[in-house]
Every structure is written in structure tokens, then in C-alpha cells.
Amino acid sequence: MMNNKITVIGAGLAGCEAANTVASMGVKVKLIEMKPIKHSPAHKSDNFAELVCSNSLKASRVDSAAGLLKAEMRELGSLCLSAADKASVAAGGALAVDRDIFSKLITESVKSNENISVINQVVEKIPKDEIVIIATGPLTDSALADDISSYLETDSLNFYDAAAPIVTKESIDFSNAFIASRYSDSSDEGDYINCPMNKEEYEQFYNELITAESAIVHNFDVYEGCMPVEVLAKRGIDSIRFGPLKPVGLRDPRTGHRPWAVVQLRKENSQGSLYNMVGFQTNLKFPEQKRVFSLIPALKNAEFTRYGVMHRNTFINSPKVLNKDLSLNKNQNIFFAGQISGVEGYMESAASGIIAGINAVKLLKGEEPLILPEYTMIGALINYICDSFVKDFQPMGANFGIIPPLENHIRDKRERYMALANRSLDFFKEM
């Protein structure tokens, strides 16, 4: 006989959203988290929902894929977005947060919820006799990962995620930098520090970058959505100049012209004392990062408070094993959410946690699951990761390419995206 309680394993973004959702629906939930008993290689804090790769939750405007995703999550009562609003730092048109404040707010909210019991424990096997949501993230502990792989009778897949370095603001040479946001308008105050390079400076930097020594990574399988900057650079001398170092939409006030290349720095904390090197996920050895990145004129004296790192990520082969309610097709009492389910990105992970939480409660109550339409961003994302047609499965983030097109095609991209967003949000208003 199943008791009136649901178990969530993992207190990352997906796990916290799942636990909060279950609790908000009046059901007792047990949230199991291995910290502080044990930490993954990438996590340092004992708080829940710790952000490790970036402090950006991407664009806010609703006519962007990331913005629409967040708008849908707000309609579903997202805990993470409530915390993000309170912990936000300026980042142009993006929603970025102070990581420490963000995770602290979520931790306090979860621990103070009378319907949530937090248990610190290292889980080594899937509980198969209860309703459980596995939200252990891309760095699932090895024993549990092995048990999941064995239970699914299919190999779990691995890729490596790269985090960008962080520098102190006071160490930036502002005689070689300027503050502005790309395509500035009246609503954009200029939240990025831009580090321009001329052609000669760029080519010197580029040549050192592609020949720098990388840390050894075994069984390396890089995921295109989080590619190390040095790997991208090796595709050609202009590859990063048309990528993370693109100067488009920026004008150097010292010259009045567009620079040859620009490295952008984004505020990392609410105090504005730390800045993240945008698009500089890297696997270079630490001394090499210091040497090569200091060739950027504005960063010649940079103090690095964190160097870029690579770490293992694990995700299941969702198209083969998951139903569209995020339950396993071989055991509908077991749900997966977060990056282990094959979604890519912080908010995508959190959104899947909400859906898994809703459907776990619906299963408990004997109700039909919530399957969002494919024309919503969350529905399209879940439909993709559960699509049995997908063969060489790789994680997927929010994008308009996975949403069915409009009946009447709109040529202008901005107008088309807004129409797609309105179609989705109309559904949520009628729920």
C-alpha cells in the first residue's frame, strides 16, 4: 500500500521545484540530498539549487525561447523564478542572479515548508516501491548512477560541461575596456564590461589560445551547447570572432569604431565585485588560463577568483526510457527531472522538476497526467527528450526550433516569435 508521500532525490533546481510543487499540491514530500555529507566535484556550497556554470538564467523578453520558458514557469508557480527575482543582478536583457543569495533563498523556502521533510543521505539505489522523482543532476553519484544504468538496462550517456573563469572588477584595466550592452536601447543601461582587441592583439591571443595546454579529460565527449572556447577556436581563426568574441553591436568609445573582437564580462554577484568571462567555458590548465587570458589588454592584470573547469555530466537515454509525463516506461512510479533527464540548462531543469512534481501527485491521486501541448516551450522540450524518433540523443535546451510552426507563417522573426509566445501563454491563461 503506497503511503501519502512522494520522495524527491536531489536538491538542485529540478529537485527543489519538484518538492515545492508536490508540497504546494497538499502532499507530503521527502527531499533527500547528499550534501553536506558528500559533494560532487563541481559543488562547494551546502545550500540547495547551487549554480555552478554561470549566474545567468538567460533572456527575459517573452519573444525569446528562454524568456518564454520562464514566462510559462511563472504561470506554474516556479520557486526558482521567485528566488531569482529577489536575487537578480543587472545583466542587460538577461535574468542573472547573485548565486549565493539565490541558493540561500531557495534553501530557506524549502526547509521552512511544513510539507517538506529534508533528509541528508547518500542514495545508492533507486527506491522502487514508492513514487520517487530522481533529480540528481548531471553529476549523479557513481553508485546511484550505476544502479540507474543497471535498472534501465541501457548505458547512461556522458558529456562534459565547461564553466567560465571569474575575475575581480578591481583588477580590470578600464583604460582598455568600456561599459555597454550589445545593441543598446533605452531599456538597456549597459551592464557588460567590454574588453576590445584590435586585429594584431586578437591574432596574438588566438594563436596562444589554440596552442595552450589543456587538462586531461578521459573519455572526452564535448557537448556542442557548452563547448570550451579553445575547442571552438580550433575550427578557424574567425570562429570565436563570430562567436563569443563577436564585436557586432558594440562601438569602442576610444576609437568611435567597432573593435576587431570583444570579450564581454558579465556581473557575477549583486555587489558587482566579480565578473564572469562570457562564453569562455574552458578546459585549459589553470596556469595556461592565467597566461593566455591575460593577453586580453583589459585583463593584463586580472585577478582570477575562479578558473574554468570541466566536469562529468550524466543523462539517461530519455527517448528510449521516458514517458511524456517524465515517468519511466518500465515503472511509472519513477520519474526523472533535471539535466539527468536530458534537458539542458538551469531553467529547463527547473521546469522539468515542476512537471515531474505535478505528475507524481496526479499519479498518487489516480488522475490523468499533465501533458503540455507541443506548442508550449515546456511541452515542446519534454516532447523532444521523449521522442522515440531521436536516435543519437543529446541534451536539448529551450529554442523555437522545437515548437510546431504557426499556421500562417510570419516572415519577421521577432514578430513570429512573439506570435508563438502568445499562442503558448494563451494556453496557460486558460488552464
CATH number for position 282: 2.40.30.260
C-alpha cell at 291: 597566461
Asked if residue 184 and residue 88 are part of one domain, the reply reads no
Amino acid 109: pLDDT: 98
Q: Are 215 and 285 in contact (CB under 8 A)?
A: yes
Domain end call among 311, 345, 379: 311
Tell me how far apart the terminal alpha carbons of the chain are, to the nearest angstrom.
32
Asked if residue 361 and residue 267 are part of one domain, the reply reads no
Q: Are 318 and 385 in contact (CB under 8 A)?
A: yes
Angstrom CA distances, 33 to 120, 173, 188, 353, stand at 5, 42, 39, 15
**Residue 147 dihedral angles phi and psi, to the nearest 5°:** -65, -40
Strands 309-315 and 261-267: unpaired
Asked if residue 68 and residue 107 are part of one domain, the reply reads yes
Amino acid 239: pLDDT: 93
Q: Alpha helix (H) ranges present in 273-376?
A: 286-293, 318-321, 346-364
Amino acid 217: pLDDT: 58
| CATH number of the domain enclosing 62 | 3.50.50.60
Q: Which amino acid is at 44?
A: K
Q: How far apart are CA 399 and CA 62, in angstroms?
A: 12
Amino acid 226: pLDDT: 64
Tally of structural domains, the chain: 2
Amino acid 153: pLDDT: 80
Asked if residue 218 and residue 170 are part of one domain, the reply reads yes
Neighbours of 157 (CB within 10 A): 19
Domain end call among 311, 332, 350: 311
| pTM listed for this prediction | 0.75
Q: How far apart are CA 226 and CA 422, in angstroms?
A: 30
Asked if residue 201 and residue 227 are part of one domain, the reply reads yes
Amino acid 39: pLDDT: 84
Q: Which residues of the chain, if any, have pLDDT below 50? A: 1-3, 185-188, 218-225
User: Residue 111 carries which DSSP code?
Assistant: H
Asked if residue 363 and residue 255 are part of one domain, the reply reads no
Amino acid 181: pLDDT: 82
Amino acid 2: pLDDT: 42
Buried b (16+ CB within 10 A) or exposed e, 389-403: ebeebebbbbebebb
Neighbours of 265 (CB within 10 A): 27
Asked if residue 346 and residue 281 are part of one domain, the reply reads no
Asked if residue 294 and residue 167 are part of one domain, the reply reads yes
Asked if residue 292 and residue 403 are part of one domain, the reply reads no
Amino acid 224: pLDDT: 44
Q: How far apart are CA 301 and CA 296, in angstroms?
A: 10
Q: What is the DSSP string of 186-212?
A: TT----EEEEEE-HHHHHHHHHHHHHS
Amino acid 307: pLDDT: 86
Domain end call among 311, 337, 357: 311
Amino acid 186: pLDDT: 34
**Residue 399 dihedral angles phi and psi, to the nearest 5°:** -165, 155
Q: Crossing angle, helix 79-86 and helix 65-75, to 10 degrees? A: 110
Those residues whose C-beta lies under 8 Å from the C-beta of residue 222, and which sit 6 or more positions away, are 159, 160, 228, 231
Asked if residue 146 and residue 216 are part of one domain, the reply reads no
Amino acid 81: pLDDT: 98
Asked if residue 424 and residue 372 are part of one domain, the reply reads yes
User: Residue 400 carries which DSSP code?
Assistant: G
Q: How far apart are CA 308 and CA 390, in angstroms?
A: 32
Asked if residue 244 and residue 180 are part of one domain, the reply reads yes
Domain that holds residue 44: 5-156+316-430
